[in-house]
Amino acid sequence: MLARLGLSAVAATAASVRQATGDRLGWVATAAGCVAATEAGWQQRGRSARSDMALATSSVRFGPRKRNMSTLAFMTRHGELHVDPRQSSRLAKLTLKVADRGKDVLGGGTEQSRGVVYEGVMSVSSKEWPHWEADEAMPLIYTHWAAAVGAAPLPEGTSPLRTVIPPDALLSLHVPKVARAVASFVARPEGKALHITPDLTAEIIQPETELPGPGVVLCGSFNPLHHGHRLLLETATQVRAETLEMSPHRLWPAYEISLLNPDKGLVTYDDIMYRMARIQGRTSVILTAAPLFDQKAALLDGRNVAFVLGIDTFVRMMDIGYYGTPDALFGVLRALAEARVAFIVAGRYCERRRQFLSAESVRADLYPALLELERHGMNLEVVRVPDSRFRVDISSTSIRAASTESSASTKWWEPTSPR
């Protein structure tokens, strides 16, 4: 964690805290490292960083062997984070308290009660936690969350949340600006897309908006997001990087959720917030009201985007039934080809057939509309992901069938307003 923060003051601060407290406070040193991230800024204002911070913390363990977990507190001049692992057998309640503008949360007296409080939850039962350091996650969650709500600037060089949060962990941090942006977009989504960034911010994307990089966009409902989705997006990003002959780090991977879906109905605000809890802080999420790929491409600068989809979605995309006539289907494919949109197609486990459908079965001669494109001198770029690089026999449908948790019956993730 100290190396990830990239701050020279961290090691010295951590060592002094260890010497003063002993190793019984398992993540005090890490917390001190996070506090040191703001030390330079405080010193510029003529303050001593160590006199302005306070730490009160105890050891925490997440995962299958969680035992004797107690409430934690992580405090700096800007605010404090409390983690209560006793929320349930699976979740910990997170409470972020930050100072009013111009106030000091740790100043004592009546000002202690004038802070603004935000709430969230996160997994404590993630199967991934034994391989990740929960002790490292808490300070970084505090740093990003406080920056997102405007309580403190994000220190330069701070590691992304994805470096300390397991991919399968649930994380729902209430950020008012993001919640308002999602609600506003759901109310009026026409002609734009909404980008929820890994840095806990939200920004509107319009056709003329410059994207963060060449996009690799996995489209789906993600109800829920699972290991197969994450692995597919990772693999597709690598495949696209090879095609473009550039580093994967220069690409922009993202999940896209359309509010309108021909097969699955309208996606609501509650649905979005529920599904984002498995993505928040780790990968970009794009919200659109574009159920068809030519509509998505028009919003996302088609020349700079590759859409990732399972073979079942590709087959539906080529189904005349969704367009009404062969001419309408050809018109959509022609628009996609002219925009130089790319498609990365992967195999998919079919629940109905109970078998894995290989992407290698995708051939132009099986689809008359693709042959028609070729006769007109055009080509739709379709890249097939070899089964040897991606195969996951799991689906969101099977997960929902095996779980009693659903967005309709569970409100654990619901964000709260500041109070």
Give the containing element (helix H, strand E) for 253.
strand 252-258
Do residues 238 and 385 share a domain? yes
**Cα(44)–Cα(197) distance, rounded to whole angstroms?**
30
pLDDT tens-place string over residues 356-400: 777 877 776 678 888 899 999 999 999 999 988 887 766 555 555
Residue 417 covered by a domain? no
Same domain, 362 and 387: yes
* Domain final residue pick, 146, 173, 200: 173
Query: Is residue 195 domain-shared with residue 292, that is, in the same domain?
Result: yes
**What's the rounded Cα separation, in Å, for the pair 26 and 18?**
9
State how far the Cα of 49 lies from the Cα of 36, in Å rounded to an integer.
8
Alpha helices by DSSP H, 152-299: 176-187, 227-244, 269-276, 293-299
Give yes or no: residues 375 and 226 share one domain. Answer: yes
Q: Examine residue 411 and state whether it is found in any structural domain, yes or no.
A: no
Q: Are residues 219 and 315 in the same domain?
A: yes
Are 186 and 164 in the same domain? Answer: no
- Burial status of residue 193 (CB atoms within 10 A of its CB: 0-12, 13-18, 19 or more): buried
| Residue that terminates a domain, selected from 122, 148, 173 | 173
Same domain, 324 and 204: yes
Residue that terminates a domain, selected from 114, 145, 173: 173
Task: Tell me, yes or no, whether 387 and 328 share the same domain.
Answer: yes
Instruction: Note whether residue 418 is domain-resident.
Output: no
Strand order in the sheet with 342-346: 202-205, 193-196, 284-288, 252-258, 215-219, 305-310, 342-346, 381-384
Asked if 63 and 84 sit in the same domain, the reply is yes
Tokens representing 178 are 């993001």
Residue 98 belongs to some domain of the structure:
yes
Domain boundaries, position 295: 176-402
Residue 409 lies in a domain: no
Q: Are residues 215 and 115 in the same domain?
A: no
The overall pTM is greater than 0.85: no
- Are 128 and 253 found together in one domain? no
- pLDDT at residue number 351: 63
245, 343: one domain: yes
- Please return the burial class of 109, using the count of CB atoms within 10 Å of its CB with bins 0-12, 13-18 and 19+: exposed
Per-residue DSSP letter, 107: S
Domain total in the chain:
2
Q: What is the pLDDT along the chain (419 residues), one digit of tens a residue?
A: 334 333 333 333 333 333 333 322 223 333 333 333 333 332 333 333 333 333 444 445 566 555 444 566 677 777 888 888 765 668 888 999 987 654 444 444 444 445 789 999 988 878 888 778 777 788 899 999 999 999 888 999 999 999 999 888 889 999 999 999 999 999 999 999 999 999 999 999 988 888 889 999 999 888 888 888 999 999 999 999 999 999 999 999 999 999 987 666 788 999 999 889 989 999 999 999 998 899 999 999 877 899 999 888 888 888 888 888 999 999 999 999 998 999 999 988 666 666 777 787 777 667 888 889 999 999 999 999 998 888 776 655 555 555 544 443 334 444 444 33
CATH of the domain at 339: 3.40.50
Two tokens at 302? 């088609």
- Residue 419 is assigned to a structural domain of this protein: no
Q: Is residue 407 part of a domain?
A: no
Whether residue 259 is contained in a domain is answered as yes
